[in-house]
Structure 1
Amino acid sequence: MNNTTPYDAPHPYDPTAEARWVPEPDKRPGRTAFQRDRARVLHSAALRRLAGTTQVVAPLLRDFPRTRLTHSLECAQVGRELGAALGCDPDLVETACLAHDIGHPPFGHTGEEALDTAAATCGGFEGNAQSLRILTRLEPKRFAPQDGAAVRLAPWPGRSVGLNLTRAALDAATKYPWARGEHPTDPASTKYGVYGDDLPVFRWLRTGAPAGRKCFEATVMDWSDDVAYSTHDVEDGLQAGHIDPAVLRSADERSELFKIAERYAPDAAPAELDEALDRLLAQDWWPRSYDGTARARAGLKDLTSQLIGRFCLAAEQATRARYGPGRLTRHAAELVVPRGVRLECAVLKAVAVRYVMQRDEQAQLRSRQRIVIAELADVLARSAPHGLDEVFAALHQEAEDDRAALRVVIDQIATLTDASALALHARLVEHRTP
């Protein structure tokens, strides 16, 4: 990427973007509001928890796996540079990238699906909506005033307001800026960014934003997420021996691969996907084989670097071609990603799904993980506050009805790592007295 935007250019963010849900003084003058946001996310327990949360391969199954934490760090590096090249505040984009997966539960998307089923009577579960809930409620850093005029600024007098990030940071971390069933073009979509009882802070952070449209920094974060996990998942699959580069030239394999790619590019014809894969395989840096040697490993690193550069440079150039020079921020623009590059990314995602995630042992593992989450939700819902930690036990006792009480149980499970979910299941389910 050609970063032609100096960091010391005139500050393009107004006080509305830098406002916090609960106003607070800066303890250390000289830092920007977004530097404070980045520090708060980086030092949070919620971010550290992602070190023990599944990305593709469960953290305990092999040495040095990519986890949700390493993915978030890699996404942050990609997003920081791409955002800075386009004029965003780099700390703001990095904050959004660090926080974008902070609400994902144990066992990755498998855990997310199981919790959505368990939470059916209290509004469901979605990792992105949970991220907002953690940032604005569950990760204790600041509390709303107990009384006085300042109470008007928060809906929960005396309650935690989470990390109390700026409006711009929360907006940038919101990948799906709508509630369940309110997708702007697909009401049946299962992707959404806020639960019903978090709507007050959601409406606050979306002040001045076009309905249903992500802010510019969120589009940078979203593309950085796609770029990071599509390239790194393929790298991991090649290194683990699950992906044979030669297989990608088989017509039969491509047919199956493109069926998967359709979920990421539903409007793409097989011929377009075929051309996208051919473009990648034709590159000098695309591996023809992988034998685990040091030279082969260096080749995989180069593959990742080349793909990230290819995808980000294409987005930067296309966005500049539409909007011209200058700093692009907040609601003044949307990231432009050329269709061909989006299809290349979709094909890479399909490669990882087919050859890594759909292996038989992974399917068996996911089945077991769904059972663990379902049984944990059942036993905790029936026995709470027993089994909940101190914070959630107190919230459970304050719950005004069964719906709110179940949401506390879901919040508790969502804060677990893979290992702690298995340990709690063993203690409450496997070892309980009949």
Structure 2
Amino acid sequence: MIVLHLQLWRRRQVIGHPEKDRKKEVPHPRMQFDDKSRVEKAKRRAVVKQTEARNRVELFRHLPQYERGTQRTELQSKFFELDPVHPAVYKVGLQYLYGDICGSNARCIAMLQAFQEAIKDYSTPSEKTLARDLTAKIGSYLSFLIECRPLSISMGNAIRFLKNRIAKLPLTLSELEAKATLRSDIDRFINEKIILADKVIVKHAVTKISDGDVLLTYGSPSAVEMVLLHAHELGKQFRVVVVDSRPKLEGQLLLHRLVGKGINCTYTHVNAISYIMHEVTRVFLGASSVLSNGTVYSKVGTACVAMVAHAFRVPVLVCCEAYKFHERVQLDSLCSNELGDPDVISKIHGREDINFLDGSTNSENLQLLNLIYDATPSDYISMIITDYGMVPPTSVPVIVRDYRREHLWI
């Protein structure tokens, strides 16, 4: 199917599209979805037919709440009607939609690699400049990805970097040289800001692990997993408490990998966090983003874990790459968040035959809420381990300022 889409996309690039100059309006990722006029206007122009959730939770009416059912079929049927979407971007969008690609780093890398393929196959139309036309193309690809799933904060920072590089391309470069430069810039971003950054984080974080420690982590953060594996390779003796939560139970995957490497582990759900915390000596957490006021934006439940650790006076260390830092200030999880499928929380994983809410989900008196992220206040964070070093939450604005000096985010 993807090969067919690639052939069709290349053909449409040659013969053109009757509405290629029309600017498609899609819901902005931070649009207030309780504004009825803007929602209706966006829904009319959306690629995927979107229906509002039956019973919306009042506090989260401003967030996009759509029941996703037949999006894949609709996307495939409307492929001929869309503004040209590169097949690599199309494939990544579907993987976002169905959760095949999860995690901030994985989603960001997949998006950048898809843009690499799109840039490779790009050709500048006559009477247009590469910088302006390619920026518009990237914008249309982003609109498609946003309809599949809202972008994460780290992905937004990567997009700023790419658009900045496009805008600063020397006019003396040929099209072939410009495309090669952009693809090289994307490789450099992935290698320096994600891969090498994780290695630096591991180098710093492993110094905080001593023999006899009981380390607690929540979910399946990739940076924390690398820290634990490296500490084990160094011969340090410690035990890991993996705390998990429904509906995805991502901690089970982490548990399987750690046990497979011979690490002594304990597995529990987040509801037992207060019972296990008295054994813990340090807490290692991941983050989707770190905001300018020191707030850690991460998987829902992270704030609960950090709060309990703070009450037990257990140090909380957050492992986060600097490219995820953002100048935004956020005090709660209400104004900006992402909502997952509300139906999955009413089902038991592996026991789909059991549904105690069967018949009640259609009731007007029942509202299901499945939040994806939460905001952990800086008061509960002892230290943030990043590729800039180990810093307190109060030093986050300094890192954001240094990134601005590198002209990566502006």
Task: Name the TM tier (shorter chain).
Answer: under 0.3
Higher relative contact order (CA 8 A, sep 6+): 1
What's the TM-score once normalised by structure 1's chain length?
Answer: 0.26
- Decide which structure has greater helix share: 1
- Decide which structure has greater strand share: 2
What's the TM-score once normalised by structure 2's chain length?
Answer: 0.27
